[in-house]
Amino acid sequence: MTSTALLGILLVLIILMTVFGNVVVCLAVSASRRLRCVTNCFIVSLAVADLLLGLLVQPLSAVLQLTGKWPLGATFCNIYISLDVMLCTASILNLFAISVDRYFAVTAPLRYPGLVTPARVAVAMALIWVASLLVSFVPIQLGWNTPDLRVQNQRQNDSRHACRFELNCGYVLMDGLATFYVPLLVMCGIYYRIFRIAREQARRINSRPSSISLAASVREHKATVTLAAVLGAFIVCWFPYFTYFTYLGLREGEGFSHTVYSVVLWLGYANSTLNPILYAALNRDFRTAYSQLLCRRVCPAPPTNLSIPSPGEFVLLCGHTNGCRERHAIEAGLVLQERNGSTLNSPVHQTDPSLSS
């Protein structure tokens, strides 16, 4: 009973932190004009997926974990499993979309407003949620995921108090490759490219004596930590689950361990708890909005002098909506100047007219 109580407390804390953190992200974007940017739509979409996971899926998973029994019948069991797969897939694909957005922000800063338009962002978000729906509700409700291709938990010999997620080889290969392994490889390549560009920018700054050389070195270190935290958390949280998921599918359920599955499942859930910190709180504007929401105090005005943003912050900058367009244009142009080896002698208030229009 003691171990069950401690486990229950831990699961409740994970659920509360998931719900609270992602609610704060949504409130921060809605309350702060500075954050109402087209590219922040991906962060909001990510927060919505993680919030729904914390509200609709994690509580039921906790009940099933603590009691070992499913109280709502086979139909709701399959809906619950479908929601679980859909929301976890949407969370992962939103993380993938954020990494692609950051890649364009760093590699093509001056063309970025034309590349990442509201229409393209809307299409990308629609594709994320449609793909998440197609790999979850459709195969599970039609029985394509089971070894005998019959709908799980609804056969005559299935226990009424069990809620099993059955797997076959074809389904796990399709789902694992499309929603995790391929996005993971692309994300690794993207963040490696971003890191190399960040190091090159810092090296160019440090090669010329200036008052910002020391600050650039500090920012390079911070960017390294940021990118390592973002990618590391994603791998640590989801790689064990999809490895075990693929193993079970290839063996069609043989060798299943309830304890192992529970550990890797909740480790994957923990990524939804960490996302508000890794993808929002590491951005200065989000930290300011968090402070205003939680501490109810007016934060100090940002400094008027402009320095090169850290790569970890630059890739989180807003795009081209009214509240964020000018800042992005200034900083993007300065970063491009540094990449090309030109001097930083243009006044802060001057922007590229083509970007501010």
- pLDDT for 280-324, tens place per residue? 667 778 888 888 887 754 444 454 444 444 444 444 443 333 344
Q: How many Cα atoms are found within 13 Å in the side-chain-facing hemisphere of 38?
A: 21
What does the pLDDT read at residue 194?
A: 84
Q: What is the dihedral of CA 226, 36, 42, 122, to 10 degrees?
A: -150
**pTM beyond 0.85:** no
| CATH for the stretch 2-356 | 1.20.1070.10
The larger pLDDT score, comparing residue 137 to residue 202, is at 137
What does the pLDDT read at residue 262?
A: 93
Average pLDDT, the chain: 80
- pLDDT for 17-61, tens place per residue? 999 999 999 999 888 888 888 878 999 999 999 999 999 999 999
The larger pLDDT score, comparing residue 338 to residue 55, is at 55
| Percentage of the chain modeled with pLDDT above 90 | 46
Residue 277, classified by CB atoms within 10 Å of its CB into exposed (0-12), middle (13-18) or buried (19+), is middle
- φ, ψ (nearest 5 deg) of residue 284: -60, -40
